[in-house]
Amino acid sequence: MLLRRLREAMAEPVSAQARLDKIVVHIASNMVAEVCSVYVLRDDGRLELFATEGLNREAVHLTTMRSGEGLVGRIAETAESLALSDAQSHPAFSYKPETGEEIYHSFLGVPVLRGGNTLGVLVVQNKARRAYSEEEIEALETIAMLLAEMVASGELQSIVHPGNKIALRLPLALKGAAVADGVGLGHVVLHEPRVTIKQLIAEDPAKEEARLDAALQSVRKSIDTLIDRGDQAGPGEHLEVLETFRMFAHDRGWLRRLREAISSGLTAEAAVERVQNDARAKLQRRTDPYLRERLHDLDDLANRLLHELTGESFVVSQDEMPDNAIIVARTMGPAALLDYDRAKLRGLVLEDGGPSSHVAIIARALGIPMVGEVDNIIDLCEQNDAIIVDGSTGDVQLRPQPDVEAAYAEKARLRAKRQEQYHKLRDEPAVTTDGVAIGLHMNAGLMIDLPHVKETGAQSIGLFRTELQFMVAAQFPRAQQQYDLYKNVMDAVPDVPVTFRTLDIGGDKFLPYMSRLEEDNPALGWRAIRIGLDRPGLLRTQLRAMLKAGGGRDMRIMFPMVATCEEFDRAKALVERELTHLRRHDYKMPSSLKLGIMIEVPSVLWALDEMLARVDFVSVGSNDLMQYLFAADRDNRRVSDRFDPLAPSVLRALKSITDKAAIHGASVTLCGEIGGRPLEAMALIGVGYRNLSMSPASIGPVKAMLLALDAGEITSFVTDLLAQKTGASSIRAELQAFAEAKGVPL
């Protein structure tokens, strides 16, 4: 039996080269091939011939090719096996005279894979033109697994051509979506640790079959239980995914491949790994998002099976967590992140998880740097690898070189220093050099946000996004839970006004436990106040919870996405109904109540007189207002950065709001992301904004900016620029030049 013979060869106490030489001889004779060669990928991207039976031995460690070059390079590049009866007629064939391979016609090459990485290529060749059978291809792929272990063990490092290194575990610079600001240096903690397979080759195939059957049985049972329970047991375990699991777990082709792998001599766990490697190689190169999703499902199922077979734990225990943990996961629910010890968390990297994912909200609230949408990160890293996350740029450095690490350590240090300086500004009044007071407020949405009020010196919570409680919960929060949250919030910051915004769901914000409406244009669809008015029961429950919680206090309630005055009137009528109800039942009334709207829908810009006459306050939701003004989806990376909010058109629109508010004596705040960026905030002060609400981390930088700003100067500067009608799509450069000339820190 070949695998047994190979295992013996691997255990022999000989040099790495001698071992490899022996292995190729065994493979060649077993496959009845004249040639067997092993190529290993180096860190310069070239494949080096490491051993051969049949080709010219002088070529060993001398012949190299680029990944992508020739048949071998092509296999490395595509990570797919290639079987040809007439290799030389293949367009990718490239002839290396030193190897003497011109006399061999048939060619079978398979990638040496570990995780999703190609470590090398294993080839057999025959003189005669022959077709390799499916079994032969699979047998060679199984043998390649053994070679992968050998490469991964590091022993081949000693025989690589002098001056070179094997590519395994190279430093990698990856790019994803910048999700939560900050720089974190630390070590990889796989949210779902991978199983390390210790025993590849089995003594007794029958026993392995039985082990596989038992494990399958138990995994199937646990999936059925989860499905029967009908709820999601945790993140990523929604019904649909479970159904897919069930489908795979009973899939005949998959089961047959597992059994074949066992009958070739592998242990049950090695068989699972082997079949999964295959599936991964096949599916990974597909761009079809549906197929890639299925690969994830299959990966998860294989992972469950491996855990079942080896008995290894599914979660990292808290004691095993390094002090500087960077969690790496495919996807993660908000609750799972909260389960980790905050003191040890330095960052989060996800394969999914865009900026508006729910876990992103938590990461930002906890101040943990996060990068999302990093392709393939799980396969590329190993437990405990060194890793750096830059949540401000979306960069991830895996196994960084010392100079890269030093640069990021410096960046992190500078940030910490700046943070300290901002902290010192906390108690200074936010007043411009010419004495104009600017209200700096904070956006929040969860209890974990509240300590930031004190830390930053925010004057109020200018926007409390009540939907966050709904988004991170596993089930719809009941009236009592809503009341508890609102009351706890006001109790936690008794001297600080809180502007509660009613439920803003729909569009990009969906609730995991509610079925999603299929809408062609969700951003323009049934969302926020539209849902609230169509389902008054929902909105009234929330309003009642708020008003009860605000008994004896000053209350501020704000409605999102209001497009017409009538919508506000109807919402206000619901509030009044609830007040009547509370009064009738002798509840304590809020001592004052102010009602306002978010200005997010452009129609309001041309109804300001009527709107400002009815509301107590307005707050500009520039995130949504921008997306509607430019007709550019805020979450679609292709278009979201296409237009600059510092365009004259936008600034004129924003100025029309403050101009009208001045006439009506109305209170106006801006609570979108632009209010938290110093340069944008400077322009906003220039068009009349005196109150900005922003994420806590932005308060320091914005305050530092305005303490050095002359409000009169920036106002005339922006007013003049806007009057010039330049037709420019942005006045960013002019504003930057202004800040530089005036020494305003950005």
- In whole angstroms, how close is the CB of 469 to Mg ion at the nearest point? 17
- Establish if 624 lies at the interface with ligand PEP (CB under 6 A): yes
Evaluate whether 36 touches 116 at the Cβ level (below 8 Å). no
Find which of Mg ion, ligand PEP, none residue 445 binds, CB within 5 to 8 Å per kind: none
Of 59-67, 448-456, 617-625, 703-711, which segment contacts ligand PEP by CB under 6 A? 617-625
Q: How far apart are CA 656 and CA 428, in angstroms?
A: 31
Residue 235 contact among Mg ion, ligand PEP, none, beta carbon within 5 to 8 Å by kind: none
Angle, CA of 219, 221 and 225, to the nearest 5°: 120
Shortest Cβ distance from residue 611 to ligand PEP (Å)? 17
Q: Catalytic residue among 191, 358, 441, 452, which?
A: 358
Distance in Å, CB of 621 to ligand PEP, minimum: 3
Nearer to ligand PEP, 623 or 640 (CB): 623
* Least distance in angstroms from the C-beta of 283 to ligand PEP: 35
Give yes or no for residue 563 binding ligand PEP (CB under 6 A).
Answer: no
Shortest reach from residue 624's CB to Mg ion, in Å: 4
Give phi and psi for 528, each to the nearest 5: 45, -125
Rounded to the nearest whole angstrom, what is the least distance from the CB of residue 624 to ligand PEP in the complex?
3
Nearest residue to 295 via CA among 314, 274, 276:
276
- Shortest Å, Cβ 556 to ligand PEP: 15
Q: Is 356 in the site for ligand PEP (CB under 6 A)?
A: no
Q: Which is nearer to Mg ion, 96 or 465 (CB)?
A: 465
Out of 324, 331, 376, 623, point to the residue binding ligand PEP (CB under 6 A): 623
Alpha-carbon distance of 352 to 205, in angstroms, equals 38
List the beta bridge partners of residue 260: none
Residue 109 CB, nearest approach to ligand PEP (Å) = 52
Stretch that binds ligand PEP, among 165-173, 217-225, 481-489, 618-626 (CB under 6 A): 618-626
Helix axes 536-549, 565-584, angle to 10 degrees: 60
Q: What is the 3-state secondary structure (H, E, C) of 307-351?
A: HHHHCCCCCCCHHHCCCCEEEEECCCCHHHHHHCCHHHEEEEEEC
Enumerate binding residues for Mg ion (CB under 5 A).
600, 621, 624
Binding test (CB under 6 A) with ligand PEP, winner from 26, 346, 465, 677: 465
Residue 465 binding target from Mg ion, ligand PEP, none, CB below 5 to 8 Å by type: ligand PEP
**CA-to-CA separations, 225 to 170, 304, 504, 620, in angstroms, rounded:** 42, 15, 34, 48
Contact 96, 47 (CB under 8 A): no
DSSP code string of 112-180? EEETTEEEEEEEEEESS--PPPHHHHHHHHHHHHHHHHHHHTTGGGGGSPTT--B-TT--EEEE-EEEE
Residue 481 belongs to what H/E stretch?
helix 479-492
- Regarding 390 and contact with ligand PEP (CB under 6 A), the answer is no
Residue 285: CB atoms within 10 A of its CB come to 13
Q: What CA–CA distance (Å, rounded) separates 455 from 114? A: 47
Q: Which is nearer to Mg ion, 433 or 623 (CB)?
A: 623
Residue span binding ligand PEP (CB under 6 A) among the ranges 18-26, 325-333, 341-349, 622-630: 622-630
CB of 633 to ligand PEP, least distance (A): 13
For 610, the token pair is 């009527």
Closest to 200 in 3D by CA, of 208, 210, 192, 190: 208
Distances (CA, A) of 706 to 203, 463, 481: 74, 21, 39
What is the full DSSP assignment across 627-670?
HHHTT--TT-HHHHTTS-TTSHHHHHHHHHHHHHHHHHT-EEEE
Provide the minimum distance between the beta carbon of 622 and ligand PEP in the complex, in angstroms, as a whole number: 5
- Give SS3 for 493: coil
Among 264, 460, 622, 695, binds ligand PEP (CB under 6 A): 622
Burial class (CB in 10 A: 0-12, 13-18, 19+), 448: middle
Smaller CB separation from ligand PEP, 160 or 562: 562
Rule CB under 6 A: say whether 284 interacts with ligand PEP. no
Q: How far is the CB of 465 from ligand PEP (least distance, A)?
A: 5
Phi/psi of residue 558, nearest 5 degrees: -130, 140
CB closer to ligand PEP out of 310 and 466: 466
Is position 449 an interface residue for ligand PEP (rule: CB under 6 A)?
A: no
In the numeric block, which tokens belong to residue 725? Answer: 């009608």
Binding residues for ligand PEP, total number by CB under 6 A: 10
Asked if 200 contacts 143 with a C-beta cutoff of 8 angstroms, the reply is: no
**Is residue 254 within a helix (H) or strand (E), and if so which, with residue range?**
helix 252-263
* Nearer CB in complex with ligand PEP: 78/564: 564
The option from ligand PEP, Mg ion, none interacting with 672 (CB < 5 to 8 A, set by class) reads: ligand PEP
**Burial class, 290, CB count within 10 angstroms (exposed 0-12 / middle 13-18 / buried 19+):** exposed
What character string, x for contact with ligand PEP (CB under 6 A) and - otherwise, covers 494-523? ----------x-------------------
**DSSP assignment of 710-724:** -HHHHHHHHHHHHHT
Q: Taking CB under 6 A as the rule, does residue 600 contact ligand PEP?
A: yes
The question of whether 381 is a catalytic residue gets the answer no
**How far is it, in rounded angstroms, from Cα 189 to Cα 432?**
46
Does the footprint of ligand PEP cover residue 445 (CB under 6 A)? no
Beta carbons within 10 angstroms of residue 695's beta carbon: 21
Among the listed ranges 273-281, 446-454, 483-491, 621-629, the one in contact with ligand PEP (CB under 6 A) is: 621-629
**Residue span binding ligand PEP (CB under 6 A) among the ranges 172-180, 566-574, 584-592, 615-623:** 615-623
Query: CB-wise, 258 or 629, nearer to ligand PEP?
Result: 629
Stretch of residues binding ligand PEP (CB under 6 A), selected from 188-196, 263-271, 619-627, 641-649: 619-627
90 token code pair: 């293949």
Contact of 51 with 23, CB cutoff 8 Å? yes
Closest listed residue to residue 138, CA positions, set 306, 280, 278: 278
278 binds, among ligand PEP, Mg ion, none (CB under 5 to 8 A by kind): none
CB-nearer residue toward ligand PEP: 147 or 671: 671
By CB under 6 A, residue 710 contacts ligand PEP: no
Which one, 481 or 623, has the nearer CB to ligand PEP? 623
Nearer to ligand PEP (CB atom), residue 399 or residue 465: 465
Count Cα neighbours of 125 within 13 Å in the Cβ-side half-sphere. Answer: 22
User: Quick one: 621 or 648, whose CB is closer to Mg ion?
Assistant: 621
Q: Which x/- pattern over 670-689 shows residues binding ligand PEP (rule: CB under 6 A)?
A: -xx-----------------
* Residue with nearest beta carbon to Mg ion: 624
- Please, what is the minimum distance in Å from the beta carbon of residue 447 to ligand PEP? 18
Q: How far apart are CA 357 and CA 340, in angstroms?
A: 18
Of 152 and 601, which CB lies nearer to Mg ion in the complex structure? 601
Q: Is 268 helix (H, G, I), strand (E, B) or coil?
A: helix
Amino acid at 19: R
671 catalytic? Reply is yes
Active-site positions? 358, 671
Which residues contact ligand PEP by CB under 6 A?
463, 465, 504, 600, 621-624, 671-672
